[in-house]
Amino acid sequence: MIAQMYIMWLRQLKRYWRSKPRMIGALGQPVLFLVALGFGLGPVFQRAGEGDYVTFLAPGIIGMSILFTGMFTGIEVIWDRQFGFLKETLVAPVSRVQIMIGRTLGGATIAVGQGILVLLISLAIGFHVENWALLPLALLFMALIAVLFTAFGTAIASKLTDMHAFPLIINFLIMPIFFLSGALFPLRDLPQALSVIISFNPLAYGIDGLRAALTSSAEFSVVTSLAVMCSVTIVIVLLGSYLFSKIEV
C-alpha cells in the first residue's frame, strides 16, 4: 500500500517539475498581492494602529498560494480521464483509495513547496518571522491546508468530465474561501453575520494558525485552529476517497 502511494506521489512531483512555466506562473499572483497590497495598503494599515501590513499579510498570501495550487491540482484527474491515463491507472491491482491518497499527497507536497517559496519571497521583501522555533508548527499548518484543499479539488474533479467546467467551479468556490479567511484583513470587530460565515471557513483557521506560528499573533487559539484543521482534513480526505472510488472512466 505504501509503495503504491509513493509511486503516485512521485508521479505527481515529476509531472509538476516538468512544467516549469507552471511553477513560475503560480508565483505571479502571490508576489503581486504581497507587493501591491503589502506596500500599497501598508501606510493605511499603520495609521489604523494595526502595525506592519506586510507582517500581517504574508501568512495569508502563503495560505493563498497553497490553496490555489492544491485546488487546481484536481484538474489533472479530468486531464488523465480524457486522455486515457486514468483508465490505465485504475486497472492496476491497486485500490482506488490508495491512488487517490497518493495523488493527494503529491499535490499537497507541490502546494507546500509553493508556500515555502512564497515565504522566502516574503522574507526578501521585509517579512520577519517572530520565532523561528515555531517554524515546524507553521509547516504543519501549511501541510494541513495543502492536504485539505488538494483532496477537495480532487473530490470535485472526480464528479466532473468537462475540463472547462472545472476552473469555473473552482473559482466560484475558491474566491469566497480565500477572501473570507482573514488573509487580507483582521477578523476582529467584523459584522456579526460575516463573523459567523468566517467561523465555518476552514481556511480561516489554517491561516490564523499559520499567522500564530510565524508572527505570534492570532484570533483563535492554536489548539482550536489545529483541531479544526485536522478534523476537516480527515473528513474531506475520506469524502474525496469515496468519490474517487466511484469514478467512471
List, as one string, the DSSP characters of 132-188.
GGGHHHHHHHHHHHHHHHHHHHHHHHHT---TTHHHHHHHHHHHHHHHTTTSSS-ST
The grid coordinates listed for 205 are 483557521
Q: Are 237 and 147 in contact (CB under 8 A)?
A: yes
- Report the predicted TM-score, pTM, of the whole model to 2 decimal places: 0.88
Q: What is the pLDDT of residue 63?
A: 93
Three-class DSSP category at 86: helix
Burial 182-195 (b: 16+ CB within 10 A, else e): bbbbebeeeeeeee
Q: Are 186 and 50 in contact (CB under 8 A)?
A: yes
The per-residue pLDDT string of the chain (249 residues; one tens digit each, 9 = 90 and over) reads 555 555 555 565 555 555 555 666 667 788 888 888 888 877 777 776 667 888 899 999 999 999 998 888 877 777 777 766 666 666 666 677 777 888 888 888 888 988 999 999 999 888 888 889 999 999 999 999 999 999 999 888 888 877 778 888 888 889 999 999 988 888 887 888 888 999 999 999 999 999 999 998 888 889 999 999 999 999 999 998 888 877 766
Q: Residue 54 CA to chain centroid, in angstroms? A: 20
